[in-house]
Structure 1
Amino acid sequence: MVMVPSVAATAAIGVALAQGALAASFSVSGQEFKVTADTLHGEGFAQYGAVDAGYTLDGKKTAHAVAVSSFNDATITNMCQSVVTPDVPFLGNITLRLEAGGAGHDKVQAHNLYIDVDDLNADAVFNNIDIGVAAKDASKGPGMKGNGEQANPFGFAQQADSADLSNVRQTAWATTAGTFKLSGLHMSLHKGDGKGIECY
């Protein structure tokens, strides 16, 4: 959910994938999802480049260059997540929308949080940031994912003691966490998509 990924790092991942230098085996669904949040405070932040393998909605294999943003612990206010399933027979596009941590509820809390991002807009402040460390040496966050993740441990990474973001808008391919507490969770299905139905 944080930091615009380094253009050079993302480009390098794409080139490596095209040349077969990285074997993409971490499988994700064939759909991106949108996430918004009023604020995100994270303790122990790190970010590095990776490749997520997956499928298109018609079952063809594909791969996505992502920036993996990770936190030891994060608190989030007014979180929204939406994903569109297109062309449902007789119904058209259907949007699944999840909301949590809004007014009258505790903040969303996550531990060992990883978000595989390909686009981010936010206002951000980073405390004691290190830019250009090797991914394997980024010690302020929870460490690299492992479990078949396709990322170069010697590649570009950045880290910070903490991060504060506001007005967050992002698209992502995957989110994982050791624990994810969603206070005031509300899930709803909506016919259609776009502004007013999706999170943004």
Structure 2
Amino acid sequence: MQDRFDNPGRTRWRRFAAMLVPATAVAGAIVASVANGAVAASFAVSGQTFKVSASELRGEGFVQFGGIAEEIDGTKHPVAVTGIRNARIYDLCQSAKVPGAPVVLTINAGGGGNPATASDLLIDVDSLEGDTTFTNINIGQDASTLKGGPDGATGDRKGFGQQADTVTIKNLRQVARSTHAGTFLLTGLKLKVNVGADAKECF
């Protein structure tokens, strides 16, 4: 299914469509951010991606811009950096595969109508899908002028950016390289190591 607008401010995302511009423009924006020294995470990433799903994410103070996630050996991965000042996440599932083994680590939280909550949330995103609604969104704003997201999220980064007062994503499906939060409350946390036939990811 191709990307489509269901109504104003609402769209079904596909890979990197979170930037809401054609793929070539996204690549250009990320390259520009790299040239300006944008670094997405304040720590060295493992190089391995992990999956996150949720029935719904509700956020206040949304910003997004291009960046780089860097491994300890210097390997760099272009990412879409997503910042949310306050988030509520319903039916959260996070999964990570163990390289070279039929083993998957899963974390579940935020079920039964009691969402997981996070403040000053920053995510290095590889891909994102979901039915999404923004309020008061600015697209194409210079990243150095983004406001309302986590404190200090953008620093002196320049280039393509976008911001919105609120964001709601239903049927969230996300592949990420890192997550950072000031606080992360995982209500009803369940962590499990799944082996063999049970080694299934969130999606």
One-letter amino acid matched to 2:52: V
The Cα shift of 1:106 comes to 1.8
Match of 2:104 in 1: 95
Counterparts of 1:9-158 in structure 2, within 5 Å, are: 9-14=26-31, 22=37, 26-54=43-71, 61-87=74-100, 92-103=101-112, 106-145=114-153, 153-158=157-162
In the alignment, residue 27 of structure 1 is paired with which amino acid?
A
CA deviations 1:75-127 (Å, max 9, x no partner) are 0100000000122xxxx321000000012x62100011111101011000000
**Partner of 2:71: helix, strand, or coil?**
strand
Change (3 A) 1:187 1:13: same
Q: 1:152 and 1:159 mapped to 2: Cα distance?
A: 16
Structure 2 unaligned spans of 5+: 1-12
TM-score by length of 2: 0.80
Q: Is the 8 A contact 1:129 1:158 kept in 2?
A: yes
CA spacing shift, 1:101–1:42, aligned 2, 3 Å = same
Normalising by structure 1, what TM-score? 0.81
State whether structure 2 residue 181 is matched by structure 1 residue 177.
Answer: yes
For structure 1, the 5+ residue unaligned runs are none
Aligned CA distance change for structure 1 residues 116 and 124 (closer, same or farther; 3 Å): same
* Aligned position for 2:172: 168
- Give the alignment of 1:180-199 within 5 angstroms: 180-192=184-196, 197-199=200-202
Q: Is the 8 A contact 2:49 2:175 kept in 1?
A: yes
Q: Deviations over 1:168-196 (max 9, x none)?
A: 001000000000000000000011489x7
Runs of 4+ aligned structure 1 residues displaced above 2 Å come to 9-17, 20-26, 143-146
1:23 is displaced (CA, Å) by 7.9
Q: Say how many residue pairs are matched.
A: 184
SS across alignment from 2:141: strand
Q: Aligned Cα RMSD in Å?
A: 2.7
Among the aligned pairs, what percent are the same residue? 40
